[in-house]
Amino acid sequence: MGRGVQINAAQMNKDHTLQNLLYHLHPQQQQIIQLILIEGYSYTEASKALYLPPRSIKTYLRSATLKVKIAPS
């Protein structure tokens, strides 16, 4: 038997929910959430990666979190 990745139903549901939430956001907001909230980038790191000022990163993140009703960390 192969050594595949095992994912339980709760994790699959969580991943599916996150994908659904991100789907409704602008691609720029999706990227910022991916970098900051999921991958742990700082605002400065995300701004350099996306060639945007840090203030824009904060603004996009704030509007995205309000839209999908998640709290930024």
What does each of the 73 residues of the chain score in pLDDT, given as a tens digit? 444 434 344 544 556 676 777 888 899 999 998 899 889 999 999 999 999 999 999 999 999 888 876 545 5
- Asked whether residue 60 is domain-assigned, the answer is yes
Helix, strand, or coil here: 29? helix
Residue 33 falls within a domain, yes or no?
yes
Domain membership of residue 1 (yes or no) is: no
Q: What's the whole-model pTM score?
A: 0.68
pLDDT for residue 23:
81
How far is the C-alpha of 51 from the C-alpha of 49, rounded, in Å? 6
The whole-angstrom separation of Cα 39 and Cα 48 is 15
Please report whether residue 6 resides in a domain: no
Count up the domains in the chain and report the number: 1
In contact, 50 and 57? CB cutoff 8 Å? yes
Residue 7 lies in a domain: no
- CATH number of the domain where residue 70 is located: 1.10.10
Q: What is the pLDDT of residue 53?
A: 96
Residue 12: predicted pLDDT: 47
Task: Quote the domain boundaries for residue 70.
Answer: 26-73
Closest CA to 36 of 20, 54, 9: 54
Q: Please indicate, yes or no, if residue 15 is contained in any of the structural domains.
A: no
